[in-house]
Chain A
């Protein structure tokens, strides 16, 4: 699998689709102990679960270099997501940089359901910049 360190700015990850099964949503809600989402009627999925899926799409297409740190996160939720929906994640490397021996990389995310975009975001990661690391 390609490592994130080898990918250039502008790289687009292959679109990935996820089914928000009852089982997966239950497992996510239990893992984050979210007591608030269940108080809403409508079978809603926690928005951060959608973000977690988007990041999973990244991890399935590029491995993280050793020592990678998640240093920042921006998210915008534009439509509610319900259990049973299928979402598609698109992602691209928006920027790369280097500071004090660390590579900085920002990945833009867009998640869409059947009716359009439900979430956009930007994840910022940092990892030790080795020789030959694309910057």
Chain B
């Protein structure tokens, strides 16, 4: 049986996902994703870049956003989800990130959400729009 979420009305908040970034988590993502860019995994290398230290993969942050969407929309996210985001700032080891979203429209079986991921200082690291078509 297909697992779907209940309908969310305009203005409804999606369930937030909070995660703390560590170098161990970045390394685990690098291993799983095959993206071993030293900017993510080599503190000595990263220290000499414009970032001054390692940063998390953008796709790791989108993993948190996707978890939020799965929690909110269930299988519909897997079968009819769309995401369009910009990476606006970087996440570093020690940062605590919160992924959040708000429903901005519900029309014709399509739910549109404004989504973002912020660090503990409130800085927006990822922002954009997610859509889910209900099947």
Contacts and interface: CB of A to CB of B under 8 A. Distances in A.
B70 A37 contact: yes
A19 interface: no
A32 interface: yes
Nearest to A27: B32
B59 A51 contact: yes
Interface string B102-123: 0000000000000000000000
B82 A76 contact: yes
Interface in B67-101: 67-68, 70-71, 74-75, 77-87
A31 B82 CA distance: 22
A77 B49 contact: no
Nearest to B68: A36
Contacts of A49: 63
Residue among B33, B34, B82 having the largest count of chain A Cβ atoms under 10 Å: B33
A77 B37 contact: no
Contact of B63 (A46, A56, A71, A79): A46
Interface string B36-77: 010000000000011000000111101111111011001101
Contact of B87 (A42, A59, A68, A71): A71
Nearest to B65: A48
Given A40-B75, A72-B86, A77-B80, A30 B28 contact: yes
Interface in B5-45: 19, 25, 28-29, 31-35, 37
A47 B78 contact: yes
B59 A55 contact: yes
A74 interface: yes
Given A40-B3, A44-B75, A69 B87 contact: yes
A77 B79 contact: yes
Contact of A36 (B32, B70, B81, B87): B70
A41 interface: yes
A59 B49 CA distance: 21
A134 interface: no
A41 B66 CA distance: 17
For the complex of A and B, list the 10 residue pairs with the smallest distance between their C-beta atoms, beginning with the closest: A32-B63, A36-B70, A56-B34, A48-B66, A36-B71, A31-B28, A80-B78, A70-B58, A31-B29, A31-B32
